[in-house]
Each structure stands twice: as structure tokens, then as C-alpha cells.
Amino acid sequence: FSCGTWLPSRAEWLLAVRSIQPEEKERIGQFVFARDAKAALAGRLMIRKLVAEKLNIPWNNIRLQRTAKGKPVLAKDSLNPYPNFNFNISHQGDYAVLAAEPELQVGIDIMKTSFPGRGSIPEFFHIMKRKFTNREWETIRSFKDEWTQLDMFYRNWALKESFIKAVGVGLGFELQRLEFDISPLNLDIGQVYKETRLFLDGEEEKEWAFEESKIDEHHFVAVALKKPNGSRHQDVTSQDDSKPTQRQFTVLSFNDLISSAVPMTAEDPSFWDCFCFTEEIPIRNGTKS
């Protein structure tokens, strides 16, 4: 869902917040910037749409909870025919994205290539030096153009975040324990690639697979997948991982997002009034950002 381009009307915003659980509405109301509130709300609606349409659980009977690390999950007492069913969402840049699996452990991350604040790209890389291994930095810097280097930086970042979100370990994980052997170096928009390999503490993790996509010129998406029983890499993905596939993401409109929605709370006009007074994004100037 393109939350970055979504300019909700009063009716859309109030319907959307009526269609999520009260505690999540309260959480969304605490965001300082409209961009973050829209992304979080879109994520909740995507999850509920998924559960309602794929698990056939009525919208108003869906109960979502959060783990100790803050990851949204379906309540254990839900009428779920898939005991290992899990999902993950990510929102950054202009999109909120979702991946779900009936059996596989899954994590997803999206990153938008954007200029890193006031400093130069080399200065940004110096600050982030400890986030990647020497080999990963060699891959990032193998391109002559700095913007292409930044592209590869965010692609690596999305891969690492997708793994961390799949295992649910949170921010304390040492990122240099993960090393990705990225292949191919260039991705075409609308294709899904499965060749990239993960090494954890120097050992290849063959039970993990990673599906990479570019949904437009500036957004990379990485999906991490693992079989619960630790089956091999070739069992997790297709038989021929060297060929990209066409299974790309489906972009939803707002009407798609709420097509199964059932309002669960009364309309709250003050929630729209508060939203109207929030800035879309942080305003950068010469003294702060």
C-alpha cells in the first residue's frame, strides 16, 4: 500500500480507525508525524485484511496482540487452521508491505534509497561502518557511482532486517554476525530473486532463503523465509533459484484495503481533527532535523 502518496479524506481516516482495535487506534494517535500514523494504520488494516480473507475469520472477531518485542501476532485462541501461520509487516519510504506464510517462518523489510541527511555518502558509510562485514562493504563500494553504492547499502540493510524480524530478536542483535553473499548485483523492477545466501558467524545457513524485489526505482524489499523443521534451502524456494520469477507484490488501493472491513467502534471526529494538525514529516532546517 502506498501510504506515502495516500492523502486520506475525513471519511477514509475515520472509517479506517474504526476498523482496528481500540488499543491500536490509541497507539496511532500518539505518532508525532502524519507519515508514521498513516503507515502504522495501513499496516494494521493489511494484517486484518489478510487474516479475514485468507483464514476466513470475520473481521470483527480478529484479535491481534503484540509479542514482548512488539511484533504483531494473531491471538493464540483464534480459529486458525494453520498452527504455524505467521506474518510480518514493514513500512519505510513510500510503502507499507506485508508477507505471510502458512508454514514458513517469515520476516520482511522495505528500504527506500534516500540521501542520508546533511553529510556526504562516504561520511554516512563511515558512521555505519560497524553494521556490515568487510566483504559486504567491498560489495557496496564495488560500484563507481556513490548513489549506486547507497542502493546496495540499503539492499544489504533490508536483508539483515528481514532476518532479524523473522527470528524476532530485536535491536540487540550484532549485525556483523550476519553476512550476505548478494546475487545478482542488479535487480530488475517487478522480478523476484532468490540467489542471495546468508552466512551466520561464518557458516552458511542453508535452511534460510531470501526473496528480493525492487517495487520501483527506489524501494528494495527483502523477505526472509525458514522452514520450521530446518529443511534445506532448495526446499524453501523454487527448484531453480538462479532464475527470477514474476511473483511480485500487489499494490492495494484504499478501497482494496478496507474491502472486508467491519467498523468496530463509534466514529470519533476528534481523531480526524488531531490528525489534521500533525506535520507530514520532520522539517529539516539549518539547526535541526
- Give domain limits for the chain: 10-276
* Tens digit of pLDDT at every position of the chain (289 positions): 999 999 999 999 999 999 999 999 999 999 999 999 999 999 999 999 999 999 999 999 999 998 888 888 999 877 788 888 999 999 999 999 999 999 999 999 999 999 888 889 999 999 999 999 999 999 999 999 999 999 999 999 999 999 999 998 877 789 999 999 999 999 999 999 999 999 999 999 999 999 999 999 999 999 999 977 644 444 455 445 666 665 579 999 999 999 999 999 999 999 999 999 999 988 654 433 2
Could you say which of 3.30.1490.20, 3.40.50.300, 3.90.470.20, 3.20.20.70 is the CATH number of the domain covering 10-276? 3.90.470.20
Please tell me the number of Cα atoms within 13 Å of 288 on its side-chain side.
2
The owner of cell 496482540 is 65
Residue 189 bridge partners (DSSP) = 214
Assess contact for 152 and 143: CB atoms under 8 A: yes
Assess contact for 48 and 64: CB atoms under 8 A: yes
For residue 286, what pLDDT is reported? 40
Q: 134: which 3 cell numbers?
A: 568487510
Sheet holding 192-193, edge to edge: 105-112, 219-226, 208-214, 192-193
> Three-state DSSP class for 135?
helix
> Three-state DSSP class for 189?
strand
* Burial class of residue 281 in the structure, from the number of CB atoms within 10 Å of its CB (0-12 exposed, 13-18 middle, 19+ buried): exposed
Terminal-residue alpha carbon distance, the chain: 27
Distance set, CA 79 to CA 55, 68, 102, 105 (Å): 8, 22, 14, 20
For residue 230, what pLDDT is reported? 47
For residue 77, what pLDDT is reported? 77
Nearest C-alpha neighbor of 194 from the set 207, 203, 182: 182
- Contacts with 163 (C-beta within 8 Å, 6 or more apart), sequence order: 107, 178, 198, 208, 210, 224
Indicate whether this model's pTM tops 0.85.
Answer: yes
φ, ψ of residue 48 to 5 degrees: the values are -65, -40
Q: 220: which 3 cell numbers?
A: 528494495
